[in-house]
A and B are shown apart, each in its own frame.
Chain A
Amino acid sequence: MFRMIVTRLIGVFFVLLAVSALVFAFGALIPGDLTSVIVGQEGATEEQFEAVRQKLGLDKPLPVQYVNWLVNALQGDFGTSPITGRTVATDLMQQIPVSIELALLTLLVSTVIGLPAGVIAAVHANKRLDVLIRMSLLFTFSVPIFVIGILLLLVGSRWAPDLFRVSYTPWGEDPVMHIRSMAMPLLTIAFPITAMTMQMTRGAMLEVLHNPYIVTARAVGVREKRIQYLHALRNALPPIVTFIGFQLGILLGGLIVVEQIFSLPGLGRGMLEAINTRDYPMVTATTLVFATAFVIINALVDMLYPLLDPRQRGR
């Protein structure tokens, strides 16, 4: 088990290294360059360009630039944005908590609702309730997140003006307003994620429910709810948890969209803004943060598997 974790960590290290190189390459490939953003297009002499290039280390060959960038990034220094004049790290420190809060709330809501709903759907498999749940799933899978967001805006503007057009307020300033400002984004992104958890739970439960030990438990007279949630769900859990890694990709993409729709000052919005304003240090920094989070959480979920399923520990 210990060996498995170590091999896994080494693999993660190399993937992260490759990811950082790719992100740096993307930053270098985006048309235009940082120097002209800083110096300005007109009236700048070649000497001015040269001075800025030297100051930023852009006159060195690309591999050297990459190593410098990576070493700085590992220390939390992503440079200074030529657009805002602030260090990229300052902006990241403000954006990351917003995105993390939304992501964690989404996982919480989708688990609290999706897990029991999946159990209920599996227990009532192919009855009316199950069919109803699955119909709603087909709809959710056919509708992109931003359409859900727009539909909610449409409904919200009519019937819940309190939740509609509330600009983002930090928790520290006004907790009530904060909850209000997060409600619509959360609802939007939790919708498809909950549907996925539900479908995954239903499938995993169906496989477990036919096992002999469930029949035995029933015969012995264990209460039905106890069978469903303690005996069956416990054994159905490993594939459901592994699935979180898969959901995460959708969740992170969803964050970008939802933050854009509801003007939340999170990492996704920061990234899009940076792309639109050609804020190169910001683009590479946000992309790197997103990708790193994705890789690391996926690895953690993988390592969680033997903890949940003792049968996997022997290897």
Chain B
Amino acid sequence: MTVNSTSDPATAALPPRQTRRPQFLDHLMRHKGGAFGLGIMMLFVLLAVFGRLIAPYDPNASDYLSLLAPPSGEHWFGTDELGRDTLSRVIDGSRIAVAVAFLSVSIAMAVGVVIGVIAGYFGGLIDAVLNRSQDVLFAFPTLLLAIILVAVLGPGLFNASLAIAIVYSPRFARMARASTLSIQTSEYLDAARLAGVSTPTILIRHILPNVLPPVIVLAALSMSTAQLAYASLSFLGLGVSPPQADWGSMLSKGRDFITIAPWLVIWPTVALVMLMLAFNVLGDAIRDVLDPSHSGPGKSPETVV
């Protein structure tokens, strides 16, 4: 979001945005949890991007001479029932985990912000209709809604992300609506309207920058929830289709071999919990940095699905 505020008198009141970004990163790195969470997350992002180059084996190649082989020098994390290398599959699975987390939260944020800003700015009937339809979505337990949406949309990476995004978008909409309402009557909006600035411009240039900071905090906190929701879906067999390695489905398959090959469930679990912990810690750090008024370490316990 770059705001060029030379011609517009109303934007001049806003703090200059260009200097804020590096400062934000600087604060985040100095935050105890921020650096840690960011580090782990970057590690997984790197694994996701370059995983195919780093992985010792092709994640889908079967080695029929070593089925369910325990961890060894050859296969560090052992192999599964088809002789596929667990380490390579865990690395390949990070692609899906990272992609889903970013994709679903981005969609939820985009949809939620658009709906929330429109509802808050225009009010009246639009607001009422949007509010009621959100109430109906809130009437479903989150995982149940995600499951039924995947059933409707069909399986796959994008559809699962879309389902999770639909489930979480009302939260973003509520937050965006509240922020919009709080600046609705501010003087610089009146000034902008009087100056004849068109409604779309007002929404994008004046409302959006004010709505974004709290929404970004919510997005950061939602990453772990989204990743968890996807892991649950994929564990229940509603994620990406089989040959693709994916932590949730690896766990679900590995459950059948839990007595003879515990490494099949241990390593995906370790990866999953590490990434979730990183998202959690990073989310808290981003909230601390962007919203210092928030007190107490209490995080919404909704992370558990």
Contact = CB atoms under 8 A, between A and B. Distances in A.
A246 B273 CA distance: 23
Interface centre among A19, A143, A246, A294 (most CB of B within 10 A): A143
B136 A287 contact: no
A290 interface: yes
Contacts of A143: 273, 276
Contacts of A271: 147
A250 B304 contact: yes
Interface stretch (B12-20, B78-86, B99-107, B257-265): B257-265
A229 interface: no
A249 B136 contact: no
Contacts of B161: none
Interface in B259-277: 259, 262, 265-266, 269, 272-273, 276-277
B61 interface: no
B304 A145 contact: yes
Given A154-B265, A196-B301, A272 B236 contact: yes
B302 interface: yes
B235 A146 contact: yes
Interface in A16-55: 18-19, 22-23, 26, 29-31
Interface string A241-275: 00000101110111011001100000000011001
Contacts of A256: 143-144, 147, 236
Nearest to B143: A253
Contacts of A294: 139-141, 144
A140 B280 CA distance: 12
Interface string B112-149: 00000000000000000000100110011111100111
B277 A142 contact: yes
A272 B139 contact: no
Interface centre among B140, B224, B273 (most CB of A within 10 A): B140
A295 B248 CA distance: 29
Contact of B280 (A15, A142, A195, A291): A142
A276 interface: yes
A144 B232 contact: yes
A26 B148 contact: yes
Contacts of B255: 150, 153, 261
B195 interface: no
B172 to A, nearest CB: 18
A199 interface: yes
Interface string B290-305: 0000000011011111
A92 B65 CA distance: 46
Contacts of B248: 146
